[in-house]
């Protein structure tokens, strides 16, 4: 989070069952979850939530009472966090930067070399959980959700039909 510019004087990180970011520019709270079997999930969750936090921390604090001092929309918020997670967090440059840190904390092994990390973090495979999705299937989750919600709003399907949809 420090490498990504998170201001710990104006926020903190805690553990929970689901990654989340909330608060105000002066006190941004991030939560994340950990899996002892899969550090990737935690790392990308933190990178994603740090994107949300950086957006909040960079709002105009002196104008918080005006629209310009508030988050524009959840769409903008999500675009910032996805940009952090999908483009910045999976970039070869960022992975080369964190490779020594991973080796320091998780042990020296070939898996934590920058090239291997790049292969790991850019792998594409189907999955059912949006927050664990890769750069390709994450947008597919969003598109599918949008289409289901549109169909529901347009009366094309009923609420009880959502799981089948």
Distance CA 57, CA 78 (A): 15
Strands 20-24 and 27-32: antiparallel
Q: Which of 26, 36, 49, 78 is catalytic?
A: 49
Kindly compute the dihedral angle of the four CA atoms of residues 50, 75, 155, 139, in this order, to the nearest 10 degrees: -60
**Strand 11-15's sheet: what is its strand order?**
11-15, 27-32, 20-24
Whether 28 contacts 11, CB under 8 Å: yes
Asked about 49 being catalytic, the answer comes back as yes
- The residues annotated as belonging to the active site are 49
């Amino acid at each position: 989070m420090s490498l990504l510019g998170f201001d710990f004087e104006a926020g903190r990180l805690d553990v929970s069952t689901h990654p989340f970011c909330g608060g105000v520019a002066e006190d941004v709270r991030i939560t994340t979850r950990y899996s002892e079997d899969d550090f990737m999930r935690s790392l990308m969750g933190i990178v994603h939530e740090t994107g949300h936090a950086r957006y909040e921390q960079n709002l105009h604090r002196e104008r918080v009472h005006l629209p310009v001092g508030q988050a524009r929309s959840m769409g903008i918020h999500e675009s910032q966090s996805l940009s952090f997670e999908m483009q910045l967090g999976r970039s070869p440059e960022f992975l080369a930067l964190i490779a020594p840190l991973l080796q320091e904390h998780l042990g020296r092994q070939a898996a934590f070399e920058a090239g291997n990390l790049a292969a790991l973090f850019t792998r594409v495979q189907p999955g059912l959980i949006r927050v664990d999705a890769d750069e390709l299937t994450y947008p597919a989750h969003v598109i599918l959700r949008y289409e289901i919600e549109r169909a529901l709003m347009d009366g094309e399907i009923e609420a009880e039909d959502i799981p089948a949809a």
